[in-house]
A and B are shown apart, each in its own frame.
Chain A
Amino acid sequence: DVQMTQSPSSLSASVGDRVTITCRASQEIREWLAWYQQKPGKAPRLLIYKVSTLQTGVPSRFSGRGSGTEFTLTISSLQPDDFAIYFCHHYNIDSAFGPGTTVEVK
């Protein structure tokens, strides 16, 4: 089974900062990689799928890239609404989520 890891597990940032989160898969996962945002007490929200495709309604400051086993989520200019937990997700026969990265206020 594919295992997903994320780094860092948490980071502190300020509004306006550029933030990058890395997700690694234990084996090649082609383009089946998504990113979700979750806020306390809420359901996850799909941000990006197929590595780099922005879900409808998601601001363009979010972007994704990568291939093979290493992927990144970048927030180009952090906004107050972006402080949350971010999960990567390999969605194939055996789905697997990364452990999450908490983006908190510096």
Chain B
Amino acid sequence: EVQLVESGGGLVQPGRSLRLSCVASGFSFEDHGMHWVRQVPGKGLEWVSGINWNSDSKGYVDSVKGRFIISRDNAKNSLHLQMDSLKDEDTGVYFCAKGSYYDRAGYPFDHWGQGTLVTVSS
């Protein structure tokens, strides 16, 4: 059974940093692109960042470029999102999502974690 478990969320002041992690199990992690998607409670979904199987290709939504860095450790079946210079508008539930194939583009997200809540507030 595919499992994705996020951690690292919490309350943080604007301008500070937070690092999210996602531990994967139940599939061959190194063979799949991975993504972070966020959702303000009660609102829609926003793709934040994606990474291909070997970290050669990474992408970010414009609003986080230069502030967030996605990375992965295939030896540890883990995905990370380093979030710096956080803003109020970064508040939301952050989901880790598995791409259905190796690349980060062109494949839907076939499994999702339950999410971790990030609250940016002074």
Residues in A lying within 8 Å of B, measured CB to CB = 1, 32, 34, 36, 38, 42-46, 49-50, 55, 87, 89, 91-100
Contacts and interface: CB of A to CB of B under 8 A. Distances in A.
Please classify the interface of chain A as helix (H, G, I), strand (E, B), loop, or mixed, using the class held by over half of its residues: loop
Interface size class for chain B?
20 to 34
B44 A89 contact: no
B24 to A, nearest CB: 14
Contacts of B62: 1
B27 interface: no
Contacts of B47: 94-97
Contacts of A42: 114
Nearest to B112: A43
Interface string B106-122: 11111111110000000
B44 A95 contact: no
Contacts of B112: 43-45
A91 B105 contact: yes
B44 A34 contact: no
Interface of B: 35, 37, 44-47, 50, 59, 61-62, 95, 100, 105-115
Given A43-B113, A49-B110, A91-B106, 14 more contacts: A32-B106, A38-B45, A43-B95, A44-B45, A49-B100, A91-B107, A91-B109, A93-B59, A94-B61, A95-B35, A95-B59, A96-B47, A99-B44, A100-B44
B49 to A, nearest CB: 9
B3 to A, nearest CB: 12
A91 B44 contact: no
Contact of B106 (A87, A92, A99): A92
